[in-house]
Amino acid sequence: MGFERRNSAISYNGNTVNGATADISITPRGSDWYFAVCAVMTVAAFSFIGLSLRRPRRDRLFHYITAAVVFVAAIAYFSMGSNLGFTPIAAEYSRSNPKVRGTFREIFYVRYIDWFITTPLLLTDLMLTAGMPWPTIFFVIMVDEIMIITGLVGALVQSVYKWGYFAFGCFALIYITYHLVWESRRNAARLGTDVNRAFLTCGSLTAFLWILYPIAWGLCEGGNVISPDSEAVFYGILDLLAKPVFGALLIWNHRNIDLARLGLHIRDYDSDDMVVEKRHGVGNGHDGVSNGHGNAVSNGHSDGVVNEQSAGPTHIPANV
């Protein structure tokens, strides 16, 4: 190509791990792509945090959940770009295509660690938007964790039994999809047109994308049909859509939705009547809807200790 390739992560970290050498593995181009996705995730993470600072602390729930998702993804993508976070696994199927010919395929288990942390957060984002009760959210997350772990174990198994794990994972995904497209959708529809629109936008994106993940798995870790570089692109595009794009849509759609309408009653010291009452002699006039700067000063620990005697029904406006 006429220029010196500077990404030497693969030669640096090598393909030999746990006593085996992955001969079906990413090339420097795959590594470049992983690093590029890492960069996008990082920029998205700081953007979501930046946006959160424009809101009062008690309105930042969706910013924080979504920022956590992309921070975790950024680190997973850093690992994969660096040719780390994988183990060589003997491929069940030997292919003649030179791109996937070989004995040991590079299996990135770090992907599943990422998903184990981030998919419950994405489901929380969605199901809180739909105003679902927490026991339902809890159980759907448990099923989600079964899905991710069966995918991981299946990817690490080299015999045909890997498809058994895959099948468990697919059942779990069917259950999750049912909850999103049926139960949560119906619940969101009752909460108003703007909540409904927020849920439909993000929920349908999720339902569509999540179904593509097992297809990618079948072609990559499962069937060894497409190369690790193509695997990087396939999962990479899915992850970009499912995390930063999903997150931006979610945060945008939530801009005018009061969390109380979703059944979320979040209190902040600045808007807590009892605390304001105690403090108001000090003349500290922070209002709950200010930009959040200076909140750190106003939530001194002495304020946090609520004086039982003052816990009467007196309502003093937060912005006295």
Kindly identify the residues of this chain, within the stretch 130-149, that bind ligand RET according to CB under 6 A. 147-148
Please, which of residues 221-240 interact with ligand RET by CB under 6 A? 239
Is 180 near ligand RET (CB under 6 A)? no
Give the DSSP letter of residue 101.
-
- Assess contact for 177 and 206: CB atoms under 8 A: no
Residue among 85, 102, 120, 169 that touches ligand RET (CB under 6 A): 169
Q: How far is the CB of 151 from ligand RET (least distance, A)?
A: 2
243 binds ligand RET (CB under 6 A): yes
The secondary element (H helix, E strand) that includes residue 9 is: helix 9-13
**Given 15, 150, 187, 271, the residue binding ligand RET (CB under 6 A):** 150
Cα–Cα separations (whole angstroms), residue 253 to 63, 139, 151, 173, 313: 12, 26, 32, 25, 35
Extended strands (E) in the chain: 16-17, 20-21, 86-90, 104-108
Rounded Cα distance between 138 and 41, Å, is: 27
The answer to whether 108 contacts ligand RET (rule: CB under 6 A) is no
Q: Residue 147 or 276: which CB sits closer to ligand RET?
A: 147
Out of 34, 62, 104, 166, the residue judged to bind ligand RET by CB under 6 A: 166
210 touches ligand RET by CB under 6 A: yes
Which residue has the closest beta carbon to ligand RET?
Answer: 151
Identify the residue among 78, 104, 108, 213 touching ligand RET (CB under 6 A): 213
Count of CB atoms within 10 A of residue 239's CB? 26
Indicate whether 272 belongs to the interface with ligand RET (CB under 6 A).
no
Q: Which residues, including other chains, have CB under 8 Å from residue 299's CB and lie 6 or more apart? A: 269, 270
> What amino acid is encoded at 259 in this protein?
L
Residue 118 lies near ligand RET (rule: CB under 6 A): yes
Q: Does the footprint of ligand RET cover residue 170 (CB under 6 A)?
A: yes
User: What's the CA dihedral at 37, 40, 42, 46 to 10 degrees?
Assistant: -160
Residue whose CB is less far from ligand RET, 137 or 170: 170
Angle at 232 between CA 150 and CA 200, to 5 degrees: 70
> Does residue 298 belong to the site contacting ligand RET (CB under 6 A)?
no
CB 243 within 8 A of CB 41: yes
Closest distance of CB 77 from ligand RET, Å: 11
**104-108 and 86-90 beta bridge pairing:** antiparallel
> How many residues bind to ligand RET according to rule CB under 6 A?
19
Work out whether 217 is an interface residue with ligand RET (CB under 6 A). yes
Q: Which residues sit at the interface with ligand RET, rule CB under 6 A?
A: 115, 118-119, 122, 147-148, 150-151, 166, 169-170, 173, 210, 213-214, 217, 239, 242-243
